Amino acid sequence: MPTVMHMDGQEHQLEIVARRPELVLRVDGALHIVRPITRGFQLNLIEVDGRQVRFHAASEGAVVHVRCDGRSHRVAIHDPRDARGMVRAAGDEIVAEMPGTLVAIVKAQGEEVVAGDVVVTIESMKLLMNLSAPRAGRIARIAVELNQTFDKGAILVMLEPAVET
Amino acid sequence: MRRIASKLSTSDPDFRLNDVHYRKVVAELKARQFAARSERPQRDLDRLQQQGKMLPRERVEMLLDPGTPFLELSTLAANMDYDGESPGASAITGIGIVAGREVAIHADDSSVKGGAWYPLTIKKIVRLLDIAIENRLPVVHLCDSAGGFLQQQSDLFADRHMAGRIFRNQCQLSKMGVHQLALVFGHCTAGGAYVPALSDYSVIVRGIGAVFLGGPPLVKAATGEEVGFEELGGADMHTSVSGTCDYAADTEEEAIAIGREIVAQWRRQPRWNCQRDSIEAPYYDPQELYGVIPHNSKAIFDMREVIARMVDGSRFHEYQPDYGTALVCGYANLWGWKVGIVANNGVLFSDSSLKAAHFIELCNQNETPLVFLQNITGYMVGRDYERKGITKDGAKMIMAQSCSRVPKFTVMCNASFGAGNYGMCGRAFDARMLFGWPTYQIATMGGDQAVNTLLEVKMRQMRRNGEPLDKEILARIRDETRGAYEHQLSAYFATSRIWDDGLLDPVDTRNALGMAITASMNAPLGEPGYGVFRL
């Protein structure tokens, strides 16, 4: 899975092909061999495809500023794992994972929601919990009345069936 | 480690509302702390000035290395006891840096009733010495106390953890090879005389310091002998005749200078070899914690948002992110120290309890200190959950936590109810340090639950006895129980009784934990091993 690297506004694909015996990177399809150079304490000196590269790097939050060959670059790495969404299947219902009481209805029957919108609030074990829509759609029915208790596994909210497009 | 991606927007109306609310909470905390530290009746300040004495806090300031932090403990002890007559429980305790060494400091607060020890004063001093024992921290005592507050003698003298425990702990520290220094700025009478006598080193100030078992009035009453305090137990007598104290000083400043020189002679404790990386500030500003904590204390919040504003680089390696999701477990660095974090994201179920037990065992295997972030309303109750063994799964978590050999640290972030308090390393489970946020609530159960449980019991009793349901009695039970609960739930009540080591502005949590973890590295790890896990 390649990592996405943003450098000076340009997007690059970065992939580690091998770590041993030496570091091999694929950058935008081209392979490069990277070796450290141990010379005293000069840690900011590496060899890229046989060429010595001296660099300085300073990080500022998520962004790293790199200076080499007399130019400065702004680099940001995006971990592909961060973009991965929740793996749960998005169903048509919000089901109670524990017994409790319905204390607020945020989105009423007939309203449009997008995935993650808070639809109802429940109280259980002294905690208020917001339950959100599993996917985009329209609320078909709120199945429990306000201030009514429900058991574990009860269906609280139903969405209108998804329309095939 | 990957950075936590915050899902909060600082421009969200809820975030802004929380922020406004919590800033008020923190302003009140700081006002109360300021009052406990500094506000004293003018006559008490005048009396100290007449005696030519420094204020206790000025002594502490002068003792500490310039520019170094001081982690003050239980600043608001006794704030809801003794009608507020004993601010800070009449003592200053904390961890600070003296001559480049971490030391535990105990200073009697002579600006309150001559520094007399209330029951909570003794609890506070004993707690500091327990901290010194657990973390192998040398102790500096700044002595200036009139002795036990006699009106309360039955609550401060005889029991296991009362006054005698101070001296017992002093002996244990010395036996462990942990140094103690006493600086005598006032009269150390009766039991108080043993604080310098049991310290490895002591310095006494001419003219104001004195050490004796019975002061001049008591000697006169007992034997008729008339003697002045300098002659009976003053600096020159003790440092040149009796050998009870080691060094005499002309002024308090000189005593402190000699004391600093003594501390500088002490060998540094070897540190336990814990993993440490370079330090990185959190990526998300800790100030944003004010917007993270909901203004409605019942509303749930994602503890990852708290972790993101506490740990180095906001980086967190989450363990079992998709299992037992009501509990968040994972590794992070805090001021460079590797820690394992256990944080509540809701009620504890069987799966989250098992996850906790497993993660705690991993941290023990990996010699990683544990940080517990409590927001726990309890273990789940009900028929289905009992059938699945919620009680025995909770017991596994408590067993693993209780038997941990790595240092543990607890922060009461919001709720701390019922057995959840136990599983998440409440006070009884020997966290090296336990801090609370000013809005935390702590009790066996919530106020509503307590009211309803008691009403249910009372109604059953009435029915069993064939009595008609007396609505008046029920209403009285409800009001009394609710009133008592609301009063006792609060963080100020808890910290008054020293159920924690002090209340923190949430923004300071990272720093307080950093100092607590660093201090804990002075002591070796505990014995490995667990009891029987009910499987």
Using only C-alpha atoms, chain A has a radius of gyration, in whole angstroms, of 26
Mean per-residue pLDDT for B20-39?
A: 98
Minimum distance, in Å, between the CA of residue A165 and any CA atom of chain B: 30
pLDDT confidence of residue B132: 98
Average pLDDT over residues B425-440: 98
Q: Could you tell me if B453 lies within 8 Å of chain A, comparing CB atoms?
A: no
Give which of B9, B318, B380, B416 to mutate to test A binding, by max A Cβ within 10 Å. B380
Closest CB to A126: pick one of B5, B283, B417: B417
Among A61, A99, A129, whose Cβ lies nearest the Cβ of B283? A61
Mean pLDDT of A116-137: 91
- What is the DSSP-derived secondary structure letter of residue B82? G
Q: Which residues of chain A make contact with B446, given a CB cutoff of 8 A?
A: 126
- pLDDT category of residue B491 using cuts at 50, 70 and 90: very high
With contacts defined as CB-CB under 8 Å, which chain A residues touch B300? 127-130
Q: pLDDT grade, residue A83 (50/70/90)?
A: low
Confidence of residue B36 (pLDDT cuts 50, 70, 90): very high
Measure in Å the smallest separation between the Cα of A34 and chain B Cα atoms. Answer: 23
Angstroms from B160 CA to nearest CA on chain A: 37
pLDDT of residue A90: 65
- Asked if pLDDT for residue B429 goes beyond 90, the answer is yes
Whether the pLDDT of residue A89 is over 80: the answer is no
Q: What is the mean pLDDT of residues B225-236?
A: 94
Cα separation, A152 vs B7, in Å, equals: 28
For chain B, what is the mean pLDDT? 95
**pLDDT-above-70 percentage for chain B:** 100
Identify the pLDDT of residue A86.
43
Stretch B486-505: mean pLDDT: 96
Q: d(Cα B441, Cα B488) in Å, to the nearest integer?
A: 9
User: Could you read off the pLDDT of B48-105 as tens digits, one per residue?
Assistant: 999 999 999 999 999 999 999 999 999 999 999 999 999 999 999 999 999 999 999 9
Q: What are phi and psi of B458, to 5 degrees?
A: -65, -40
| Cβ pair B138, B259 in contact under 8 A | no
Cα–Cα distance measured from residue A24 to residue A35, given in angstroms and rounded to the nearest whole number: 9
Q: Which residue has the higher pLDDT, B469 or A85?
A: B469
pLDDT value of residue A42: 61
CATH number, domain A3-82? 3.30.700.30
The whole-number average pLDDT for the span B327-350 is 97
Q: How many helices (H) and strands (E) does chain B have?
A: 20, 16
Question: Which residues in chain A are contacts of B3 at CB distance < 8 A?
Answer: 62
pLDDT at A87: 44
Q: What is the structure's pLDDT at B275?
A: 79
CB-count exposure of residue A153 (10 Å: 0-12, 13-18, 19+): exposed
B452: contact with A, CB 8 A cutoff:
no
- Asked if A82 and B322 come within 8 Å (Cβ–Cβ), the reply is no
Distance from CA of A27 to the nearest CA of B (A): 22
Report yes or no: B529 at the A interface, CB cutoff 8 Å.
no
B296: burial class by Cβ within 10 Å (0-12, 13-18, 19+)? exposed
Chain B touched by A77 (CB under 8 Å): no
CB-based contact, B418 to chain A, within 8 Å: no
* Domain-wise residue ranges, chain A: 3-82, 93-159
Condensed to tens digits (0 to 9), the pLDDT of residues B280-313 reads 999 999 999 999 999 999 999 999 999 999 999 9
pLDDT digits (tens, 9 = 90+) for B366-400: 999 999 999 999 999 999 999 999 999 999 999 99
Percent of chain B with pLDDT over 90: 86
Long-range contacts: B424-427, Cβ < 8 Å, 24+? B424/B342, B424/B344, B424/B372, B424/B374, B424/B376, B425/B370, B425/B372, B425/B374, B425/B401, B426/B374, B427/B499, B427/B500
Predicted local distance difference test score (pLDDT) of residue B480: 85
Say what the pLDDT of residue B271 is.
Answer: 81
Which DSSP string do the residues of B163-176 spell out, in sequence order? HHHHHHHHHHHHHT
| Structure confidence at residue B341 (pLDDT) | 98
Quick one: pLDDT band at residue A41, thresholds 50, 70, 90? Answer: low
Q: How many other C-beta atoms lie within 10 A of the C-beta of residue B257?
A: 15
In CATH, what is the architecture of A93-159? Answer: Beta Barrel (2.40)
- How far is it, in rounded angstroms, from Cα B209 to Cα B215? 12
Question: Where is average pLDDT lowest: B299-303, B332-336, B408-412, B468-472?
Answer: B468-472
A92 touches chain B (CB under 8 A): no
Q: How many residues does chain B have?
A: 535
Query: How far apart are alpha carbons B425 and B431 in whole angstroms?
Result: 7
Give the model's confidence band at A151: pLDDT under 50 very low, under 70 low, under 90 confident, else very high: very high
**Residue A106 contacts B, CB cutoff 8 Å:** no
pLDDT band at A163 (very low <50, low <70, confident <90, very high): low
Average pLDDT, stretch B512-531? 95
Q: What is the pLDDT of residues B174-225, one digit of tens each?
A: 999 999 999 999 999 888 899 999 999 999 999 999 999 999 999 999 999 9
Q: Which of B3, B300, B415 sits opposite A129 (nearest CB)?
A: B300
Statement: residue A35 has pLDDT above 70: yes
The shortest C-alpha distance from B313 to chain A (Å) reads 8
